[in-house]
Structure 1
Amino acid sequence: MGYGDLGSYNANSRIPTPHMDSIASQGMRFTDAHSPSAVCTPTRYALLMGRYAWRLPSLTAGVTNGYSPLIADTNRTTIADIMTEAG
C-alpha cells in the first residue's frame, strides 16, 4: 500500500481506509519525507520509533538481517502504538 492508496491523499482510491482517513482529518498529513539513511534498517527504525537512527549506536553499521536481535526499545512508544490507540 502506498500513500496514494489512502482516501485522505487520493479521492479516487479503490481501497477503503476509513480509520487512516479519520486520523488524517484530525491531524496532519505528511507529503514530503527524507530518509535518514541510504539503507532500510535505519530508515525503518526512524519511522517506527520517531527517533533519529544515529541515536542507536547499533545502527551505525547499516542493515540488520532477520536473525539479528531486536534493536527497538520495547518500552518506547512506536507509531504502531499511537495508531492502534487511534483505531
Structure 2
Amino acid sequence: MARNFERKFGGRRPKKVRGRLNVLIHELEDAQEDQAYFKQQLMANSGVLPSQLDGEDYYELIKINQAKPKDKRAEDPMAMVNRLRGGNK
C-alpha cells in the first residue's frame, strides 16, 4: 500500500491529507494539555497527586468534576413548557 501511495503521489501526501493530519495532531496535543491542566487544578485545589490519577479514567474524572446538583441542571424542555403553561392540561 505504501508503494502505491508513493507512486501515485510522488512520495508526498496530498495537501488535503496533510491538512487533516495537522488538525488531528493539534486535537491530540490539545487533549493532552487539557489532561495536564486538569491534573494541575486537582493538585492545587484538592491536594491530589498526579500519580494517584494516572490509573483513573480521565473522562470519568472530568464528568465527576463538572457534575451539578439537581437544582442547577438544565430542565427538561417539555416539563418547562408545561410548568409555564400552568401545569398539564
TM range (shorter): under 0.3
Q: TM-score w.r.t. structure 1 length?
A: 0.22
Q: Which structure features the higher share of helix residues?
A: 2
Q: TM-score w.r.t. structure 2 length?
A: 0.22
Q: Which protein shows a greater Rg?
A: 2
* Greater relative CO (CA pairs within 8 A, separation 6+): 1
